Amino acid sequence: MYNLIRHSKWTDSWQMIKNNRNVPPGLMQYKVSQEVILSLLPNGTKHINCIYNKDWSFAQHTMENLQKLTPNTKTGKANKWKIIIIIKATKEHDKVSLKGALINKDTNEIALMTSINKKHADSYKNRLVKSLHKDYKICQCKMVAPLVFWDELKNRLLY
What are the pLDDT digits (tens) for 31-57?
Answer: 999 999 998 864 445 556 566 677 899
Rg (CA), the chain: 15
Give kind and range of the element (H or E) at residue 151.
helix 147-158
Q: Which residues contact 155 (CB under 8 A, 6 or more apart)?
A: none
pLDDT tens across 89-126, in order?
A: 999 889 999 999 999 999 999 999 999 999 999 999 99
| pLDDT for residue 43 | 45
- As a whole number of angstroms, the distance between CA 88 and CA 65 comes to 10
- As a whole number of angstroms, the distance between CA 116 and CA 137 comes to 6
| pLDDT for residue 15 | 86
Q: Which residues contact 8 (CB under 8 A, 6 or more apart)?
A: none
Contact in structure between 138 and 29 (CB atoms under 8 Å): no
